[in-house]
Amino acid sequence: MILDIITSGLINGSVYALLAIGFSLIFGAARIVNLAHTAFYMVASYCIYYATHKMGIHPVLAMLVAIILVTLIGLVCYRIFINPIREHEAAVLIATIALAMAMQEIMLLIFTGDFLSVPSLVSGYLKIIGVKIAYQQLLTICVALLILAGVWVLLKKTRLGLAIRSTADDREVANLMGMNESRVAMITMGVSVGLAGFAGAVVVPLTVVNPHMWMHPLIMMLAVVVLGGLGSLKGSFIGAYILGFAESLVVFLIPLGAFLKGSVALCIMILVLVIRPEGLFGVAFEEER
Amino acid sequence: MALPSRKRGRMGILGVYLRKIYTLFKGEVLILPSRIVVFLFFVIVLFLPVVTQDPYLLRILILTSIFAILAASWDLLSGFTGQVNFGHALFFGVGAYTSALLNLHALIPPWGSIPLGAVAAVVAGLIVGIPCLRLRGTYLALTTLAFPIILMGIVFAIPDITGGELGVSGLSRLSNSRLHDYYITVVVMLGLCTIMWKITDSKTGIIFHAIREDELAVRASGINTTRYKLLAFSLSGLFAGISGGLYAHFMRIAGPSTLEVSMSFTVVIWAVFGGIVTIYGPVGAVFILFPLLEFLRFWPEFRMLMFAVVILLILLYMPDGLLPWVRDKIEKECPRCKIRNIATRKACRVCTALLD
């Protein structure tokens, strides 16, 4: 039981962390609230399903292809639909919701609403004190943590990371210092959607693929981002594990928990916000006037 | 003016009043195309059943009116006061469920249960509003998104009372004929939207507007912004709750679909598509988009896709919303006295300043 809770908490937490950090990046660098973020994660899952089942490509290769493809789709969508209306915050919100809906409907048209599944990369399981933990679960956790470490290196150790962070800090000053703000936003969008693709790739062997699979992660991702503090990567990381574990605790310990898992996680978020309105690690900005 | 009419007797007085009303009408309504459109909208909506009583058409228009109230109430809270609410389905759902449960268990007829549902939605507005007072901007938007989901979890967890996935069904009808339903919802819609428009035009509305623009400055002027924000939450909850109650009694079911995330998003889509901070924008948007969605039912597979594509394309060219864009095309604002004029005029109708 305890091990079950720990593994499922770690998996949920890692996936939420991947999604939330991607979302935080693009929010920080370009002030875009991209509600279509998890829709890209769904598209990546479908690409992997299509490549492995219909084209017979090796799953690992399929995942790489899917991530690249989703990144390209994300950049094209950004160029066509989001970039022209970036200054209108409300319009961006609606455009991204409409984009997510459009992607969901396209997937419904191509693959119908059936629940599909992708075989795991590695079979077999580890037995610890009578609890089975599939190798796939361990692999998912490890890969997710590796990608998170990679993002950390990208942001802290490279010049691109420096540009992204400084644009997030202050767009105007970054622009004055000679960083091409719109190009940084474009690259950040690519990185962000790529991370959504990675999240889809690591989670797809453990979940069912269907066109509505983006809704629940979207809510949880938003909760994580708000809980950790908007734009704070450390906050997103820690918030993701808090809510991931909260979800799995509720599912395993409370009867009818599957219905309540979202509610409990969101209640935690609201409680934290009542005490700390800027989230766990958010910076309380001077009010912008 | 009164003297000759006394000589002519009763008919004469009536004539004078009619002429006076006509002069007022000509001066206030016919002078601006947007006012003519609003007037025609009232007339068409009220007299449509004279032309056709097709039950399907009436059904669409009833639902459209109900959602128009909802979208306008979102605009009151999020557009005017700037408290962007992504969980507007909460008010709708609370209104719907409360009036449904009261109707089913306490046997309160619709004219009693809908207002009580609205009161419950006001309470919900206060409950949401209090933790949200300290939040602003994106934090607020994303936090409010959580409330209907929490309530939905509770609804699913106590299926004995709420009916779980099936919802509460078997409510009494709004009235005994489709035509009466139509008139009830349409009159309520026109009335409530006028009230909301009047609120935004009043002193309170100006304070709401100021809170959105600069809360700190409002507080510095000695206005209790907390009270006004809570007032905005409860007013918005009241109107959304009424629409929720109407919806429950018209559909005769209150189900979890009223609380879904997609419901909250749809409201935001309507309002932003029509143009926020206008009240008439969201109403017009619902009257365009909802029948459009019904019309697209001929191609069921492509319905939502077309809907999404229409929204994306419109926003690409009119990021401020459809109706303000149209209004700016047909009307010009006088640079000197800020009064609107029809776009064909050369000089302002009040101060005769040249319009460019």
Q: At what angle do helices A89-111 and B261-274 cross, to 10 degrees?
A: 130
Interface test with B, best of A232, A270, A271, A286 (most B CBs within 10 A): A270
CA-CA distance, B141 to B149, in Å (whole number)?
14
CB contact under 8 A, B272 and A256: no
Residue A287 scores a pLDDT above 50: no
- Determine, yes or no, domain membership for B44: no
Return the CATH number at B70.
Answer: 1.10.3470
Residue B300 scores a pLDDT above 90: no
The model's confidence at residue A40, banded by pLDDT at 50, 70 and 90, is very high
Give, rounded to a whole angstrom, the gap between the first and last alpha carbons of chain A: 52
- Determine, yes or no, domain membership for B198: yes
CB contact under 8 A, A101 and B146: no
Residue A286 scores a pLDDT above 50: no
- Determine, yes or no, domain membership for B40: no
Alpha-carbon distance B212 to nearest alpha carbon in chain A (angstroms)? 11
CA-CA distance, B149 to B157, in Å (whole number)?
12
Domain count across chain B: 1
* Model pLDDT for residues A153-164, shown as the tens digit of each residue: 998 899 999 998
CB contact under 8 A, A93 and B268: yes
- Determine, yes or no, domain membership for A103: yes
- Determine, yes or no, domain membership for B33: no
The model's confidence at residue B8, banded by pLDDT at 50, 70 and 90, is low
B225 in contact with chain A, both atoms CB, cutoff 8 A: no
CB contact under 8 A, A85 and B143: no
Interface test with A, best of B88, B90, B272 (most A CBs within 10 A): B272
What is residue A271's three-state secondary structure? helix
Residue B9 scores a pLDDT above 70: no
Average pLDDT, chain B: 87
Query: Going along chain A, which residue ranges are E strands?
Result: 125-128, 131-134
Alpha-carbon distance A203 to nearest alpha carbon in chain B (angstroms)? 23
CB contact under 8 A, A98 and B215: no
Residue-wise burial string across B237-251, b where 16 or more C-beta atoms lie within 10 A, e elsewhere: bbbbbbbbbbbbbbb
The model's confidence at residue A283, banded by pLDDT at 50, 70 and 90, is low
pLDDT of residue B1: 46
- Determine, yes or no, domain membership for A73: yes
Which candidate from B135, B216, B307 shows the least CB-CB separation from A273?
B135
pLDDT more than 70, % of chain B: 97
pLDDT of residue B6: 53
Strands A131-134 and B253-254: what pairing? unpaired
pLDDT of residue B247: 94
Q: Nearest chain A residue to B315 by CA: give it.
A: A91
Residue with tokens 């991702």: A221
B134 contacts in A (CB within 8 Å)? Answer: 273-274, 277
pLDDT more than 90, % of chain A: 26
Q: Which domain holds residue A114?
A: 2-211
CA-CA distance, B129 to B80, in Å (whole number)?
16
Q: Which domain holds residue B291?
A: 55-303
* Model pLDDT for residues B158-203, shown as the tens digit of each residue: 888 888 888 888 888 888 888 999 999 999 999 999 999 999 989 9
- Determine, yes or no, domain membership for A232: no
CA B267, B272, B276, B278 torsion: positive or negative?
negative
- Determine, yes or no, domain membership for B145: yes
Are residues B95 and B248 in contact, defined by beta-carbon separation less than 8 angstroms? yes
Q: What is the ipTM of this complex?
A: 0.81
- Determine, yes or no, domain membership for B24: no
A279 contacts in B (CB within 8 Å)? Answer: 139
Q: How many CA atoms lie within 13 A of B22 on its CB side?
A: 6
Would you tell me how many other CB atoms lie within 10 Å of the CB of residue A238?
Answer: 19
- Determine, yes or no, domain membership for A231: no
pLDDT of residue B7: 55
- Determine, yes or no, domain membership for B334: no
pLDDT of residue B298: 77
* Model pLDDT for residues A169-219, shown as the tens digit of each residue: 888 888 898 888 888 999 999 999 999 999 998 888 888 888 888 888 888
* Model pLDDT for residues B207-231, shown as the tens digit of each residue: 999 998 888 899 999 999 999 999 9
Structure tokens at A4: 């079950």
* Model pLDDT for residues B47-99, shown as the tens digit of each residue: 999 988 898 999 999 999 999 999 999 999 988 888 888 889 999 999 999 99
Domain count across chain A: 1
What single string gives the DSSP state of each residue in B326-338? Answer: HHHHHEEE-TTT-
- Determine, yes or no, domain membership for B32: no
Residue with tokens 């909760």: A223
CA B219, B222, B223, B226 torsion: positive or negative?
positive
- Determine, yes or no, domain membership for A247: no
- Determine, yes or no, domain membership for A12: yes
CA-CA distance, A90 to B273, in Å (whole number)?
10
Write down the pTM of the prediction. Answer: 0.87
